[in-house]
Amino acid sequence: MAQVTVETTGTMLVGSDIAAATTIMNAMDVDVMGLNCATGPQEMAEHVRYLSQNWPRKISILPNAGLPELHCGKVHFPLSPDEMARWLERFLKEDGINIVGGCCGTNEDHIAAINAMLERQEFDKTGGKKRPAPVKRSVHFIPSVASLYNSVELRQENAILAIGERCNANGSKKFRLAQDSGDWDTCVDMAKEQIREGSHTLDICTAFVGRNEVADMSEMVTRLRGSVTAPLVIDSTELIVLEAALKLYAGKAIINSINFEDGEEPAHARMKLAKKYGAAVIALTIDEEGMAKDVDRKVAIAHRLYDFCCNQYGLPASDLMIDPLTFTICTGNEDDRKLGLWTLEAIERIHKELPDIQIILGLSNISFGLNPAARHVLNSVYLDHAQKRGMTGAIIHVSKIAPLHKIPAHEVQAAEDLIYDRRLPIPEVA
């Protein structure tokens, strides 16, 4: 059972809002979530309503006896015992709360009035209990991740969850150079810039030969947790790096990633972390035989991952983010031409067969090897096709994605010909 204190500013002292607190508490499997202190019941009413509509388990409410006033140099709490009891009765009947009490400024008289109010309620006769029957409420739980400050929905309306790709030592030269010279301000600025561009969450990868990945990841998480509102995606193959990051992070993070490349042992270790720290999980379609390239293997491994994470570990399906792998289709090798198409077909099948999970891709991989202008076009067109087939999120550089109507039609056509491997016969040279 855990309670949060929402100040008159509308957030907790550190700045977390009620939605962020709710998302994190839910991920930590808290049984009873509540509010206490800081304000009286009137100021709490809006947050009580939020919990009533969004918190899936029991609710406790312990307000102060109003907002304190100074009377002749002495602190005075204005709410009488009866007023206090009336507010709690309203929360009981309208919001279906389960546990009541008082915090600062309440005394025996307040508790006696609250008790008398409870005794007036209709009792729950089951099991000989002398308690008010629980009031029904309809909870609309929305699968989310959270930073210390904000909650972000994993399913975006008519859009994908944009995971900023640039805070990655292997994915950005600028980031790598800043990290390597200890220029953490630049690293944090790159995070903030991605949020301004529209990233909902940020992928963080500090793996770089010759540097201490635990120390660098810890530095990034420590700096970002208090300065950016977007939830973090911890991108590392090393268990100790994942754990160091999750330990430091106050929000509900996403682990990137688990797979079955070396059997199930590493995946077990990562799922234990996910449960302990309440994280969502990106899972790649890789098994003991390697990365899945054809559709059937991608789908089969997706089902195995679902069974492993959701059935064995109880991870909510909405917190499982399957990544059916993006490979570049720009190598010129005959064997690689269908890889983008197969990933699209796998997305469609996984979305149909496992409708509640999330599906993501590391989008930019699709265009490795092309020039920057061509990459933007191919990335944008591929994103559009993947989204239409059921992809719910992607690791991307948001400002480098264009809506298709902003790209000349013949360029869209060229990208689609590449994705669908449509080829014209090569003309005979005279």
Rounded Cα distance between 24 and 279, Å, is: 9
Site track for ligand THG across 320-359, x = CB under 6 A: ---x--x---------------------------------
Measuring CA to CA, which residue among 37, 38, 9, 33 is closest to residue 21?
33
Positive or negative, the Cα torsion across 101, 106, 112, 117?
negative
Cβ atoms within 10 Å, residue 160:
23
Query: Shortest Cβ distance from residue 163 to ligand THG (Å)?
Result: 8
- In this chain, which of 130, 136, 140, 173 binds ligand THG, going by CB under 6 A? 173
Cβ atoms within 10 Å, residue 242:
26
State which residue, 92 or 383, has the beta carbon closest to ligand THG: 383
State which residue, 62 or 394, has the beta carbon closest to ligand THG: 394
Measuring CA to CA, which residue among 197, 214, 194, 198 is closest to residue 206?
214
371 binds ligand THG, rule: CB under 6 A: no
Q: Near ligand THG by CB under 6 A, which window of 115-123, 167-175, 242-250, 383-391?
A: 167-175
- In this chain, which of 40, 132, 362, 393 binds ligand THG, going by CB under 6 A? 362
User: Which residues touch 42 (CB under 8 Å, ≥6 apart)?
Assistant: 66, 87
Rounded Cα distance between 8 and 5, Å, is: 10
Cβ atoms within 10 Å, residue 273:
20
State which residue, 18 or 339, has the beta carbon closest to ligand THG: 339
Q: Which 377-406 positions form the footprint of ligand THG (CB under 6 A)?
A: 395
Site track for ligand THG across 188-227, x = CB under 6 A: ---------------x------------------------
Geometric angle at alpha carbon 117, from 112 and 122, rounded to 5°: 140
- In this chain, which of 257, 285, 358, 380 binds ligand THG, going by CB under 6 A? 257
Binding region for ligand THG (CB under 6 A): 165, 168, 171-174, 203, 235, 256-257, 282, 323, 326, 362, 364-365, 395
